[in-house]
Structure 1
Amino acid sequence: MLTLRQIEVIRAIMVAGTVKGAAELLNVSAPGISRVMKYTEDQLGIRLFSRIHGRYSPTEEARDIFEQVASVFQSVENLHQAIEGLKQGENQRVSFGAVPSIAHHVLPSAVRALHDQFPDLELHLNIIKIEEAIDYLLLHKGELVAMSYRLDHPGLAVQSLYNGQLFAILPADHPLVNKEHLSVHDLARERLVGIEPTDPYGQLLLAPFTEAGLDVSYSIVARTGQTVSTLVAQGLGVAIMDELSLAGPQQHPSIVVRCLAEPTNFRTYAVFGADKPRSIFADAMVKCLIAEMRKAAAERRRLSPF
């Protein structure tokens, strides 16, 4: 049986017409080409080329072999093209989702980085609530959801992305902006804006008050962190917000961000359906999300060192 290397050498001689030309095509030595050619003819028991006026021409009895060699080589070329197309995302479509706090700034930045790797990839993005993620994944509407809440479900696989913090946000003219660190006890005495406490994301933002033994109520309840930030910017109260929702150039200039005196924890996760292997695009997206989350947090700290 001929190896791909032997097929490559035979084709190179067919194309170039000389051993020297074949060697130049394959970027190897001419004696090496001659050795492979002699070994191949001995192996097959037939003469493949006739030398006429210094050039190699296929023998009449070997013409069928050359047709097959050309066909095999074309198949190899098609395989290489398919691999290169896959590397570019050609003819590939994937769907990813993210909760609003991540979709606000981090997701678009991660998509830009992913597009640099796979410029031909068709990508469908969905902004979904935490409680919608299970159906989104189990019904195969999408392959990955970036979340700020860990979902424990036998049909799902979870990978940690980032571990950050929660912060206090206030109107720029609020008296508390003079304090470098704010306690949740300071915030509890103010008008509070937040997410519905029964919402998993709302529970995350309420956790610093709960852990301090404070029973608080919101004067205004919103659906997303971006709406909460806008309400604070309008002077309608103060709030606790995760750091990724505060990332990017979209942050309101009339909001001031302050560290909380109490320790907080804000984690993000990539969630997948457990019954399907991940695509190379999902794996790449995870890396892009991690990088952009770290970058967003570093940039926010640079602009607002608190």
Structure 2
Amino acid sequence: MLTLRQIEVIRAIMVTGTMAGAARLLNVSQPGISRLMKYTEDSIGVRLFDRTKGRLVPTAEAKTIFNLLDSVYGKVEDLQFAIASLRKGAGTELSIASVPSIGNVMMPRAVKKLRSRFPALALDIDILKIEEALDYLLLGRGEVVALSHRVEHSVLAMEPLVSGRLLCVVPEHGPLASRTSISPEEMASHPLIGINPNDPYGRIMAAVFSNRGLDYSMTIKARFGSTVCRLVAEGLGIAIIDEFTLAHDSMPGIAALEISAETSFQTFAAYRNDRSLSVHAEQFIHLLREEMAQVAGTPSGKGHHPFAGSSRSGV
């Protein structure tokens, strides 16, 4: 039986007409080509080439074999092309989603890296609230959802991403902007803007106050963290927001302060545990974790929060 390597060498000799030409075409040594051809002819019991005027000419007995070899080689080339296309993501669509706190800044950066690895990969990206993630996965609308809160379901796997922190955001030119930290007690004395505590994302913020026995009374409620930040930038109050929403100078007009309390929370990649993840989904999770890890725990004002590089004292 001929191997694919033997087929490749025989075809190279057919194309070039010489052992030396076949060796150059395949980027191997001429003696290696000669040895493989002798072994091939001995093993199949058919002389494949005659030497005529310095060139190798197919024998009459071998012409039928060569026609079949061309067909086989063509199919091998088709297979190699198909594999190369799959590596680039051609003909494949990855459907992924995220909660807004991860999806607005972190997700696009991870997707950019994903596309550099799979340039032909089609993507369908959605932004969901935590309570919408269950239907998204169970109804097969997508493969992965990035979450800021754990969702319990027997069919879902919850793979940890990174641990994040909450920060206090204040108007950029307000009286609190020059500070580096603030306590929950101090925050409670200012007009508060935030997410409804009945929302899973809002409960993360509310816990900062409830853990201290403080009333989390908001003057303005909004559905998304980005809206909260814009309201703060307009001078309507202060708020608690996760560090991923604030990453990479994404929210102008505000300053971020450390909170002198425990504010850590765990993020997750959720997917169905009864199905294998595609290689593209696995890569997305890996790249998203990398992006988030670069932000998680970075000191305020040192590289990723909106007032990075400010000359204000105390920052």
Letter of the structure 1 residue corresponding to residue 308 of structure 2 = L
Aligned to 1:218: 218
Tell me whether 1:260 sits opposite 2:264 in the alignment: no
Secondary structure of 2:267 counterpart: strand
1:1-24: per-residue Cα shift (whole Å, max 9, x none)? 111111111111111111111111
Distance 2:27 2:179 in 1: 70
Distance 1:97 1:9 in 2: 49
Aligned to 1:70: 70
Distance 1:167 1:249 in 2: 14
CA contact (8 A) 2:249 2:304 kept: no
Aligned to 1:290: 289
Aligned to 1:31: 31
Distance 2:61 2:173 in 1: 93
Aligned to 2:240: 240
Aligned to 1:16: 16
Task: State the TM-score, normalizing by the size of structure 2.
Answer: 0.92
Q: Among all aligned residue pairs of Structure 1 and Structure 2, give the percentage whose two residues are the same amino acid.
A: 47
Shift of 1:229: 0.8
Distance 2:44 2:66 in 1: 13
Aligned to 1:269: 268
Aligned to 2:101: 101
1:65-120: per-residue Cα shift (whole Å, max 9, x none)? 11221122112211211121112211111111011111211111111111111121
**After TM superposition, where is structure 1 displaced by more than 4 Å over at least 4 residues in a row?**
none
Distance 1:284 1:65 in 2: 44
Unaligned runs of 5+ in 2: none
Distance 2:104 2:222 in 1: 16
Task: State the TM-score, normalizing by the size of structure 1.
Answer: 0.94
CA contact (8 A) 2:248 2:304 kept: yes
Distance 2:213 2:262 in 1: 14
Q: What RMSD over aligned residues (CA atoms) do the two structures have, in Å?
A: 1.7
Aligned to 2:42: 42
Matched positions, count: 305
Shift of 1:294: 3.1
Distance 1:118 1:179 in 2: 44
Aligned to 2:161: 161
Distance 1:140 1:224 in 2: 25
Distance 2:250 2:178 in 1: 24
The worse-fitting range, judged by mean Cα deviation, of 222-231 and 80-89 is 80-89
1:207-229: per-residue Cα shift (whole Å, max 9, x none)? 11111121322111110001111
Unaligned runs of 5+ in 1: none
Letter of the structure 2 residue corresponding to residue 272 of structure 1 = Y
1:177-207: per-residue Cα shift (whole Å, max 9, x none)? 3442211011112211111111100101111
Distance 1:199 1:101 in 2: 13
Task: Specify which of 284, 300, 303 is matched with residue 304 of structure 2.
Answer: 300
CA contact (8 A) 1:106 1:296 kept: no
Tell me whether 1:184 sits opposite 2:187 in the alignment: no
**Which structure is higher in helix share?**
1
Distance 2:184 2:12 in 1: 76
The worse-fitting range, judged by mean Cα deviation, of 55-64 and 130-139 is 55-64
